[in-house]
Structure 1
């Protein structure tokens, strides 16, 4: 069962609204920095342009730098772990990861991601110091959560056993490779993900 396709509970709906609002504030902040310069894009100016208070701004972002990081996803780490827990315990780990990645891809706005990335790239070219501090916080949390969950499923300690981390990071790399390929050809993303995981399963 795809948990991304089931009705969300209250906390999940709230989290999704927060993710969408963060993306909206980020777009406003980046446009402000591009139009008026990074120094002019203060938390006060961003808050005013987004029609929110500074206190509300800091409910969404821990700092001004954080507003200029990339976060394209429409899922949470908790949802991804729940998706993994739906898979049979005896299923091959690479197959479980494939199903999870397919669900993630179905719930990700790659078109919006590309547009946001294009905007951010303009800003990073002008201010390379921002790029060096960029964090994909949501993806990092998802990777850490999946590594921990695979450790539980496999009965190993991810701090001592490399396998869970290799599996999850390879899965995310497969998603990235498939998404890149889908933008240059006419094949759908789902079939490319399946092919990428078939290559992983064969040991490349």
Structure 2
């Protein structure tokens, strides 16, 4: 497999340089460019619509052979929409192992993400990989993160499940419960990929 890396690309309109219509157009072209070159989208976030500033961020995996092309496309977009820059942050993944067994008295309690990964390890997936859609996520100014919309099959970054501000999400016995704007949804855990960085769930009927 080609060499890949994780990138967080961000745009903003905090100076109100763009009208709402131009910002919407810029954001659409920005996300389309990222999606056309990326191997996998980990998250796609925008600031709440009523906030005094506007920004957007996409986290994605990209191959080294297409990185330069995407960077050129983003540079052209920055020029087209009179932007000083588009942020590009490449993530360096580090693995932090446990220092004490979970059975030790006084050990940190199991988190939602830990429970999800434990269940995935104990119930290995034997079927084919299933295409998954993206979540729509909002973050409040106080750091609270909520899932606003979710398709039938979702791929959830384990980092989101570890986020200290994640609200409206619960997990038990292989089922993820999410309170979205359209109501409460229940998702059955299918499998973990990459290994355990992304968890795939399917909505229960």
Under a length normalisation based on structure 2, what TM-score does the superposition of the two structures give? 0.20
Task: Name whichever structure is richer in helix by fraction.
Answer: 1
Higher RCO (Cα < 8 Å, 6 or more apart): 1
TM-score, normalised by the number of residues in structure 1? 0.21
Structure number with the higher strand fraction is 2
